[in-house]
Structure 1
Amino acid sequence: MISTTKNTSSSRRRKILIAILVIVVALLAWRFWPHSGNHAGAPGGMGGMGGHGGPGMMSGMATPVHSGQVTTADVPVYLNALGTVIPNATVTVTSRVDGQLVKVFFTEGQKVEAGQVLAQIDPRSYQATLAQYQGDLSENQALLKSAELTLARYRKLFAQDSLSRQDLDTQIATVGQYSGTIKADEAQIAAAKLNLEFAKITSPIAGRAGLRLVDAGNMVHSTDTTGIVTITQTQPAAVTFSVPQSNIPVLLKSLHSGQSLPAIAFDQEGSSQLAEGSVQFISNQIDTSTGSVALKALFANKDEALYPNQFVNLRLQTGTLKQATVIPAQALQLSSDGSFVYVINKDLTVTRKEVKTGPTLGETQQAILSGVSAGEQVVTEGIDRLSNGSKVKVITAEETKAAGGSAKAQ
Structure 2
Amino acid sequence: MNGHGSSAGAAAPPPASTPATTPAAAPSRRGWLGWVVLLALAGGAWYARPYWYPRVHALLVPAGPKAPPPPRAVPIVATTVRERDINLYINGLGTVTAFNTVTVRSRVAGEVVKVAFTEGQTVKEGDLLVEIDPRPFIAARDQAAGTLAREDANLSLAQVNLKRTEDLMKSQASTQAVYDQQLAAVQQSEAAVKVAKAALENAELQLTYCRIVAPITGRIGFRLIDKGNIVQANDPGGLVVITQLDPITLQFTIPQDDIPRVLEQMNIEGSLQVDAYDRDFKRKLATGKLSALDNQVDATTGTLRLKATFENKNRALFPNQFVNARLLVDAVEKAVVVNTSAVQRGPESTFVYVVKSDETVELRNIELGPSEGLDTSIKNGLKVGELVVVDGVDKLTPGAKVQFQDKASPAGKKPASKPGNEIAAEKRT
Residues 128-172 of structure 1 show CA distances to partners (whole Å, capped at 9, x for unaligned) of 111011111112112222222332233233233333222222222
Matching residue of 1:15: none
Is the aligned partner of 1:313 residue 2:333? no
Equivalent residue runs for 1:257-296 within 5 Å: 259-296=270-307
Equivalent residue runs for 1:207-246 within 5 Å: 207-246=218-257
The one-letter code matched in structure 2 to 1:101 is V
Alpha carbons 1:90, 1:230 under 8 Å: kept: yes
Matching residue of 1:396: 413
Alpha carbons 1:344, 1:377 under 8 Å: kept: no
The one-letter code matched in structure 2 to 1:327 is V
- RMSD of the alignment, in Å? 3.9
Matching residue of 1:187: 198
Alpha carbons of structure 1 residues 67 and 307: separation in structure 2 relative to 1, 3 Å: closer
The one-letter code matched in structure 2 to 1:316 is L
Matching residue of 1:334: 344
Q: Distance in 2 between matches of 1:344 and 1:217?
A: 79
Bigger proportion of residues as helix = 1
Alpha carbons of structure 1 residues 327 and 40: separation in structure 2 relative to 1, 3 Å: farther
- 1:354 is displaced (CA, Å) by 2.4
Alpha carbons 1:108, 1:212 under 8 Å: kept: yes
Unpaired runs of at least 5, structure 2: 1-51, 403-409, 418-422
Larger Rg: 2
Unpaired runs of at least 5, structure 1: 1-34
Residues 187-231 of structure 1 show CA distances to partners (whole Å, capped at 9, x for unaligned) of 111111111111111121221111111111111111421111111
Moved more, 328-337 or 155-164: 328-337
- 1:367 is displaced (CA, Å) by 1.9
Matching residue of 2:54: 37
Alpha carbons of structure 1 residues 389 and 379: separation in structure 2 relative to 1, 3 Å: same
Matching residue of 2:99: 88
Q: Distance in 2 between matches of 1:36 and 1:347?
A: 39
Matching residue of 1:32: none
Q: Distance in 2 between matches of 1:123 and 1:227?
A: 19
TM-score (norm 2): 0.71
Alpha carbons 2:222, 2:240 under 8 Å: kept: yes
- 1:388 is displaced (CA, Å) by 4.8
Q: Distance in 2 between matches of 1:245 and 1:326?
A: 30
Matching residue of 2:386: 378
- 1:54 is displaced (CA, Å) by 4.2
Alpha carbons 1:81, 1:314 under 8 Å: kept: yes
Is the aligned partner of 1:75 residue 2:82? no
What is the SS of the residue equivalent to 2:261?
helix
From 139, 142, 149, the equivalent of 2:160 is 149
Q: Distance in 1 between matches of 2:57 and 2:299?
A: 82
Percent of residue pairs bearing the same amino acid type:
35
Alpha carbons 2:92, 2:324 under 8 Å: kept: yes
The one-letter code matched in structure 2 to 1:114 is E
Alpha carbons of structure 1 residues 39 and 219: separation in structure 2 relative to 1, 3 Å: farther
The one-letter code matched in structure 1 to 2:54 is G
Moved more, 180-189 or 334-343: 334-343
Q: Distance in 2 between matches of 1:276 and 1:305?
A: 11
The one-letter code matched in structure 1 to 2:289 is S
Q: Distance in 2 between matches of 1:398 and 1:351?
A: 20
Matching residue of 1:357: 368
Is the aligned partner of 1:125 residue 2:136? yes
Alpha carbons 1:88, 1:236 under 8 Å: kept: yes
TM-score (norm 1): 0.74
